[in-house]
């Protein structure tokens, strides 16, 4: 049992515990559990603090189901490390944010939030493809309830749409996973990748493209990549604050993580072939998202479309297939998690005061709540990508990587950066400047200590990520270098870890019935 197992299963134990404790304690329990998980997850940093291991750390590989051979195979690398930390860091914040906001069916709410953490961590650390799929679907269920029960007016439409989009995308991924299993006799990502890379599993280019697409669509829905993004604004607008935070900050990263971690390394040729149209979609998403954000009358919808735009950068970075592009993509994944998470938290604060998400309901908030205004302005600037703040590093690297791949990509994507300044600053201006109306002065008060507690860690990280990127970068760079190497050297020897029969029985599937005969 490694620390990683502890980090994964603490939320599950916490969830079960929360089902039985009295209702009044559920807030405290959720906070305690999520903080404990976060504390435990900090221990995961240890191997990455002074060295940059290229393989997996905290690896556990035990059999879960004998036939077909499904393993509980989890491990951490430079990529998943930060995403796990992002999940464990944001969950306590989501709990604090929901402290007062949630006033009915409190116990179920916090239980679902903790269960969500379990699913998210599981997605980021699974090495067994089957296990990955299990967590992928599992994370869907608590979010479905979080939006559906505690959301706003059109919550049911939004949550069903969210579930169906993701489900429709992921069933094809399941088909592809089963196909890979039938060809190789294993679900282990490493083994399958090595078999493909070494040519032991010879996929025709058509088969590779179809498999790539099956994975790609599942992930693209989740990212969400234009034109599969339409579920996102609905889900965000209707979700409760903490739901939006977890959705934008962590769940969307499941998609980009999957692209970078599974889709691209498994099917490098198909990925290279698809790069032009994927990049075209990513750039369309960047500009389209920004333009639509510009005209939104609803704050949450604006932030949601800004996510479409930001995530376009991530996809562009990944499909530039350059070191800078990949590094930048991962960095945006983290920075977007912090900055957009903070934006949703702040929008939630405003909503709790004024009970409206319409931008026109505000104006002059800076007078009524100066501290809130300062915090919001820092977050806005971070989201725009101002140097010294978190998003800048990632956006710069992605643009650099995209320029290496094709200079036109960088030019087009840079437009998105400019547009992001437009819509965010305009949003800020409309909410905070001007003369406060009666209702604003009456309802909008400044940050409470609880709210400070939720937002301060996020602010600190924005500065930290913007100024000391070296804290995060080496582990990411090391891992991305491995991925790039895997992509560019299609021939590699099969590692010793491959099961004996994997290479020999590519055709006939092994079966327990044969043994019984």
Partner 1 sequence: MMPTTPEYMRFLPEMILTITGILIMFLEAVLPDGKKTIFAPLSILGLAAAMIAAATSDPGTAFHDMLIVDTFGTFFRVLVIGVGILAVFSSSEYLTRENTPGGEFYALLIFSVMGQCVMVTANELIMIFIGLEISSIASYILAGYLREDPRNNESALKYFLLGSFATGFLLYGVSWIYGITGVTNLELVRHAIETPGFDSFALAGVAAALIFVGLGFKISAAPFQVWAPDVYQGAPAPVSAFLSVGPKAAAFAILLRIFLTAFGPIADRWTPFVWSCALATMIVGNFAALKQTNIKRMLAYSSIAHAGYVLVAVTAHSDTGAAAAMFYLAAYALTNIGAFAVVTYFARKGEQYVSIDDFAGLSQRQPMMAAMMTIFLLSLIGVPLTGGFFGKFYIFKSALDANLYWLTILGLLNSAVAAYYYLHILVVMYMKEPGESSENLPPVGFGLKVAVYASALGTLILGIFPGLILDYASRTVLK
Q: In the bound complex, what is the minimum distance in angstroms from residue 214's beta carbon to partner 1?
A: 9
Q: Do residues 125 and 59 lie in contact, with contact meaning Cβ atoms separated by under 8 Å?
A: no
Nearest to 466 by CA among 394, 376, 375, 416: 394
According to CB under 8 A, which residues from 305 to 344 bind partner 1?
none
# residues near partner 1 by CB under 8 A: 38
Nearest to 77 by CA among 40, 48, 118: 48
Site string for partner 1, 154-193 (x = CB under 8 A): -xx--xx--xx--xx--xx-xx--xx-xx-----------
Of the pair 114, 412, the CB lying nearest partner 1 is at 114
Contacting residue, 21, 65, 295, 460, with partner 1 by CB under 8 A: 65
502: contact with partner 1 by CB under 8 A? no
17: contact with partner 1 by CB under 8 A? no
Q: In the bound complex, what is the minimum distance in angstroms from residue 149's beta carbon to partner 1?
A: 5
499: left (phi over 0), alpha (psi -120 to 50) or beta: beta
In angstroms, rounded to a whole number, what is the distance separating the alpha carbons of residues 308 and 283?
10
Of the pair 110, 321, the CB lying nearest partner 1 is at 110
144: contact with partner 1 by CB under 8 A? yes
Q: What count of Cα atoms within 13 Å lies in the side-chain half-sphere of residue 124?
A: 28
Length of the chain: 517
Q: In the bound complex, what is the minimum distance in angstroms from residue 170's beta carbon to partner 1?
A: 8
517: contact with partner 1 by CB under 8 A? yes
According to CB under 8 A, which residues from 114 to 133 bind partner 1?
133
> What H or E segment, with its residue span, contains residue 281?
helix 268-294
Q: What count of Cα atoms within 13 Å lies in the side-chain half-sphere of residue 411?
A: 3
Of the pair 44, 262, the CB lying nearest partner 1 is at 262
In angstroms, rounded to a whole number, what is the distance separating the alpha carbons of residues 50 and 352?
44
Of the pair 174, 421, the CB lying nearest partner 1 is at 174
In angstroms, rounded to a whole number, what is the distance separating the alpha carbons of residues 385 and 366?
22
Site string for partner 1, 77-106 (x = CB under 8 A): ----------------------------x-
With DSSP H G I counted as helix, E B as strand and the rest as coil, what are the percentages for the chain, rounded to 5? 75, 5, 20
Q: Which residues are near partner 1 by CB under 8 A?
A: 65-68, 105, 133-135, 137-138, 140-141, 144-145, 148-149, 155-156, 159-160, 163-164, 167-168, 171-172, 174-175, 178-179, 181-182, 509, 511-513, 516-517
């Amino acid at each position: 049992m490694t620390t990683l197992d502890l980090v994964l299963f603490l939320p599950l134990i916490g969830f079960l515990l929360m089902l039985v404790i009295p209702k009044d304690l559920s807030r405290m329990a959720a906070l305690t559990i999520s903080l404990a998980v976060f504390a435990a997850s900090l221990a995961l940093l240890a191997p990455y603090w002074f060295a940059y291991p290229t393989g997996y750390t905290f690896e556990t590989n035990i059999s879960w189901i004998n036939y077909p051979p499904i393993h509980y195979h989890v491990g951490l690398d430079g990529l998943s490390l930060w995403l796990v930390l992002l999940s464990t860091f944001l969950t306590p914040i989501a709990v604090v944010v929901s402290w007062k906001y949630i006033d009915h069916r409190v116990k179920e709410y916090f239980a679902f939030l903790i269960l969500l953490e379990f699913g998210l961590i599981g997605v980021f650390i699974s090495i067994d493809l089957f296990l990955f799929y299990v967590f992928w679907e599992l994370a869907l269920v608590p979010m479905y309830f979080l939006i559906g029960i505690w959301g706003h007016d059109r919550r049911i439409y939004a949550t069903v749409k969210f579930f169906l989009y993701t489900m429709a995308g992921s069933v094809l991924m399941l088909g592809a996973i089963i196909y890979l299993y039938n060809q190789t006799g294993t679900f282990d990502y490493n083994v399958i990748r090595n078999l493909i890379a070494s040519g032991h599993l010879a996929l025709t280019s058509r088969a590779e493209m179809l498999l790539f697409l099956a994975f790609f669509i599942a992930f693209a829905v989740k990212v969400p990549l234009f034109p599969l993004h339409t579920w996102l604004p609905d889900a965000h607008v209707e979700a409760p604050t903490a739901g939006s935070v977890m959705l934008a900050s962590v769940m969307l990263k499941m998609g980009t993580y999957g692209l970078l971690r599974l889709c691209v390394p498994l099917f490098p040729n198909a990925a290279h072939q698809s790069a032009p149209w994927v990049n075209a979609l990513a750039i369309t998403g960047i500009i389209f998202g920004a333009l639509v954000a510009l005209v939104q009358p609803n704050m949450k919808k604006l932030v949601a479309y800004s996510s479409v735009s930001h995530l376009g950068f991530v996809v562009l970075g990944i499909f530039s297939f350059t070191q800078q592009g990949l590094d930048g993509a991962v960095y945006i994944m983290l920075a977007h998690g912090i900055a957009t998470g903070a934006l949703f938290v702040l929008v939630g604060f405003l909503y709790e005061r004024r009970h409206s998400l319409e931008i026109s309901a505000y104006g002059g908030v800076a007078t009524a709540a100066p501290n809130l205004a300062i915090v919001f302005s820092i977050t806005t600037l971070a989201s725009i990508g101002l140097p010294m703040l978190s998003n800048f590093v990632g956006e710069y690297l992605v643009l650099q990587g995209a320029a290496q791949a094709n200079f036109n990509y960088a030019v087009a994507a840079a437009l998105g950066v400019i547009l992001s300044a437009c819509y965010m600053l305009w949003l800020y201006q409309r909410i905070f400047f001007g003369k406060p109306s009666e209702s604003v002065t009456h309802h909008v008060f400044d940050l409470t200590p609880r709210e400070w507690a939720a937002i301060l860690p996020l602010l600190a990280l924005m500065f930290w990520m913007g100024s000391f990127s070296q804290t995060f970068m080496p582990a990411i760079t090391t891992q991305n270098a491995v991925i790039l190497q895997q992509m560019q050297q299609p021939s590699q020897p099969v590692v010793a870890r491959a099961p004996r029969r994997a290479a020999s029985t590519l055709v006939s599937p092994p079966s327990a019935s044969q043994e019984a005969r």
